[in-house]
């Protein structure tokens, strides 16, 4: 019997057991053996696009796990429990649990590479019973993945050597070989050619939709025996009595916005593992918890971030240049703001275009989304996009701290992989190869550690820390460690470009110093009255778009009646402490129209803070950039959020 079938059969057996209590049954979630999680939907309300207020889902389905309850057992009925509702505590309901060898949180390139490598090792050793389980909060593998992306194929070629082979029926078919690449420095109307540093050359690389690439990796993971569960949002880290990580729990379903249980209430499920690998990507909600608990940043600098805003266009055939890669710096960003843009021609008449804005920008009037709309008006980009059609939009935060911001990656019972640790090579504008490689290194260290240890006691991945420092990841990031922080000089982008050229062409990281990131991103923001106000032009609906039109292209869906996953303890206090100084910063840094200050004469500041959580596209910017760090991004119900296409 397969591991997946074991899990299913065990849960169904417990559900139909006459000794199972009603309380236990309320927490059961059971996967039907003939139905994949991603195939199960329930109808819901739909609208063509989100609204400013009281926003409902933009799509018509919500993916949730199936339930396998005996018809002889009563469902949880809020009417019969009316007397208990006011004091309801979900923790009073017992959670079902499952024991696996390795649990991986996150279905991105790092988590999938780790899962595949672990099962490769187990299968080679003839250990069919070795269980590797991967949890992904998106309803489908790849649905929350967004990147440029030009990938360096070194890691995938090591993991799956036949990934592009013509005789491989399961090959990845979405890779466009990189062609000519160029670098431009932009003024408002000009595009000035500048030398591209060596690490930005893309010969031998491929332009891909990372969304499709992750989906393909998920299929390969299932082929080797990984238990892949999309739609399961890990929301809690579990610990043993000795403080080591025991596993994770998924969040509860069917909780109303008031905090009371609905008729659909289901308790989350626990997954216990000897090793838990966290591959949630940038600023993961559980990763930040284990980083704090185990003080993993005690010997590193704080992480710093950027926000990438992206669209995919179908352009006129005469404007399409398959494989062409263009990068730019300068306009539209201010001289003191780090960032850059890209334009990649891939597939059939498709163009990926995006702008990354460093989140240590100082002016609270700046809107990364607004800057992206300005970018498309520049002749370099406008000439390609005009006459085309925008088919997809997305945004997400990305890691920029580099070598000096890498935390310790191993801790009792688990480890950080991929962007949960921060392996993006910012000057190279690539991170997928390092994310996958880190997952593979962690997998090999995990396999070795589990073979050498007994079933009792915490497992620590010493080999992962060591192999990481001896890997290409460490060498690559160390060489470019000073390039990103060099843009903190008073000369801004100009000083950074000069120093970066020196490092890239001559010094190549062989210097005794390591530049520091001076402040955390949220602390870099200045009061609004100290900065020039920025007015953004009204969108034309052809090349530039209002933010809610863009959000409608993400496929974002959240059930409305659930606790707000963007957690602010006291909305009035947040308003009093944030609005007078920053004048609505949240509305401008969010690329999805989630945050608003609505005119309200009854409030002391004259405005009321509002969170349109249904619009959230899971970019994590609010958790990073909120000046008082009082917004906590937590996972919503599993299967919700964006459903990206071609990103």
Q: Which DSSP state fits 425?
A: B
| Residue in the block written with tokens 């025991």 | 246
* Token digits of residue 29: 């979630």
Cα Rg of the chain (Å, integer): 24
- Given the residues 29, 63, 396, 588, the one annotated as active site: 396
Residue 432 is a catalytic residue: yes
- Given the residues 392, 432, 438, 446, the one annotated as active site: 432
Residue 590 is a catalytic residue: yes
Burial of 547 (0-12, 13-18, 19+ CB in 10 A): buried
Contacts of 230 (CB under 8 A, 6+ apart): 37, 38, 63, 107, 136, 138, 139, 140, 141, 143, 218, 639
If DSSP states are collapsed to H, E and C, what string results for 258-270? CCCEEEEEECCEE
Burial of 489 (0-12, 13-18, 19+ CB in 10 A): middle
Residue 72 is a catalytic residue: no
Pairing of strands 206-207, 150-151: antiparallel
Provide the terminal-to-terminal Cα distance of the chain, rounded to the nearest Å: 37
465-482: buried (b, 16+ CB within 10 Å) or exposed (e) per residue?
eebbeebebbebbbbbbb
- Given the residues 12, 68, 103, 590, the one annotated as active site: 590
Pairing of strands 132-136, 150-151: unpaired
Distance of alpha carbon 589 from alpha carbon 619, whole angstroms: 11
Residue 622 is a catalytic residue: yes
Residue 2 is a catalytic residue: no
Residue 619 is a catalytic residue: yes
Q: What is the dihedral of CA 519, 501, 370, 306, to 10 degrees?
A: -40
The CA–CA distances, whole Å, from 597 to 108, 358, 540, 566, 605 equal 34, 24, 25, 15, 10
- Given the residues 26, 588, 619, 621, the one annotated as active site: 619
Residue 531 is a catalytic residue: no
* Token digits of residue 4: 């997946």
CA atoms within 13 A on the CB side of 283: 24
Distance of alpha carbon 630 from alpha carbon 452, whole angstroms: 43
Preceding omega of 245 cis (within 30 degrees of 0): no
- Given the residues 62, 147, 446, 550, the one annotated as active site: 147
Distance of alpha carbon 588 from alpha carbon 246, whole angstroms: 40
Distance of alpha carbon 371 from alpha carbon 355, whole angstroms: 8
| Residue in the block written with tokens 């139905």 | 35
Give the CA angle between residues 491, 362, 581 to the nearest 5°: 150
Catalytic residues: 147, 396, 432, 590, 616, 619, 622
């Amino acid at each position: 019997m397969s591991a997946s079938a074991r899990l299913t059969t065990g849960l169904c057996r417990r559900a139909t057991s006459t000794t199972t209590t009603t309380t236990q049954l309320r927490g059961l979630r059971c996967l039907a053996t003939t139905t994949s999680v991603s195939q199960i939907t329930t109808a819901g309300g739909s609208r063509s696009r989100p609204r400013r207020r009281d926003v409902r889902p933009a799509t018509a389905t919500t993916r949730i796990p199936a339930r396998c309850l005996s018809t002889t057992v009563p469902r949880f009925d809020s009417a019969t429990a009316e007397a208990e509702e006011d004091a309801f505590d979900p923790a009073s309901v017992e959670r079902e649990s499952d024991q696996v060898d390795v649990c991986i949180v996150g279905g991105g390139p790092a988590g999938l590479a780790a899962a595949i490598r672990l099962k490769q090792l187990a299968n080679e050793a003839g250990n069919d019973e070795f269980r590797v389980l991967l949890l992904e909060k998106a309803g489908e593998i790849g649905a929350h993945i967004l990147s440029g992306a030009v990938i360096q194929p070194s890691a995938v070629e090591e993991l799956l050597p036949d990934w592009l082979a013509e005789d491989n029926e399961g090959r990845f078919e979405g890779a466009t070989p990189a062609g000519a690449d160029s670098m431009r420095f932009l003024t408002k109307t000009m595009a000035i050619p500048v030398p591209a540093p060596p690490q930005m050359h893309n010969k031998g690389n491929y332009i891909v939709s990372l969304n499709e690439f992750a989906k393909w990796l998920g299929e390969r993971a299932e082929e080797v025996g990984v238990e892949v569960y999309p739609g399961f949002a890990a929301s809690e880290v579990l610990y043993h009595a000795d403080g080591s990580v025991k596993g994770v729990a998924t969040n509860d379903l069917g909780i109303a916005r008031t905090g009371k249980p609905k008729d659909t209430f289901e308790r989350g499920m626990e997954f216990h593992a000897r090793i838990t690998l966290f591959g949630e990507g940038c600023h993961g909600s559980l990763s930040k918890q284990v980083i704090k608990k185990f003080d993993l940043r005690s010997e590193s600098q704080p992480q710093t971030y950027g926000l990438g805003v992206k669209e995919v266009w179908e352009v006129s055939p005469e404007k399409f240049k398959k494989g062409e890669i263009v990068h730019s710096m300068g306009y539209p960003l201010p001289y003191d703001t780090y960032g850059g843009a890209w334009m990649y021609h891939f597939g059939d008449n498709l163009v990926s275009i995006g702008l990354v804005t460093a989140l240590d920008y100082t002016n609270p009037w700046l809107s990364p989304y607004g800057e992206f709309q300005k970018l498309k008006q520049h002749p370099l980009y406008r000439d390609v996009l005009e006459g085309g059609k925008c088919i997809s939009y997305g945004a997400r935060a990305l890691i920029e701290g580099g070598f000096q911001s890498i935390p310790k990656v191993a801790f009792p019972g688990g480890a950080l992989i991929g962007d949960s640790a921060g392996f993006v090579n910012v000057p190279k504008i690539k991170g997928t190869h390092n994310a996958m490689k880190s997952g593979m290194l962690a997998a090999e260290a995990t396999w070795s550690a589990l073979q050498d240890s007994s079933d009792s006691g915490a497992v620590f991945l010493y080999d992962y820390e060591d192999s990481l420092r001896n890997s290409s990841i460490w060498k690559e990031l160390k060489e470019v460690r000073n390039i990103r922080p060099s843009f903190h000089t008073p000369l801004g982008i100009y000083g950074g470009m000069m120093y970066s050229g020196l490092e890239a062409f001559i010094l190549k990281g062989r210097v005794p110093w390591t530049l520091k990131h001076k402040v955390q991103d949220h602390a870099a923001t200045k009061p609004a009255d100290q900065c020039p106000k920025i007015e953004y032009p009204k969108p034309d609906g052809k090349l530039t778009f209002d933010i809610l039109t863009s959000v409608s292209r993400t496929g974002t869906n959240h059930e409305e009646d659930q606790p707000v996953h963007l957690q602010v303890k006291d909305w009035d206090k947040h308003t009093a402490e944030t609005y007078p100084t920053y004048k609505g910063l949240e509305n401008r840094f969010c690329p999805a129209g989630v945050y608003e200050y609505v005119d309200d004469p009854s409030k002391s500041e004259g405005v009321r803070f509002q969170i349109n959580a249904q619009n959230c596209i899971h970019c994590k910017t609010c958790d990073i950039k909120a000046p008082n760090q009082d917004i906590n991004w937590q996972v919503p119900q599993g299967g919700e959020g964006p459903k990206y296409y071609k990103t």
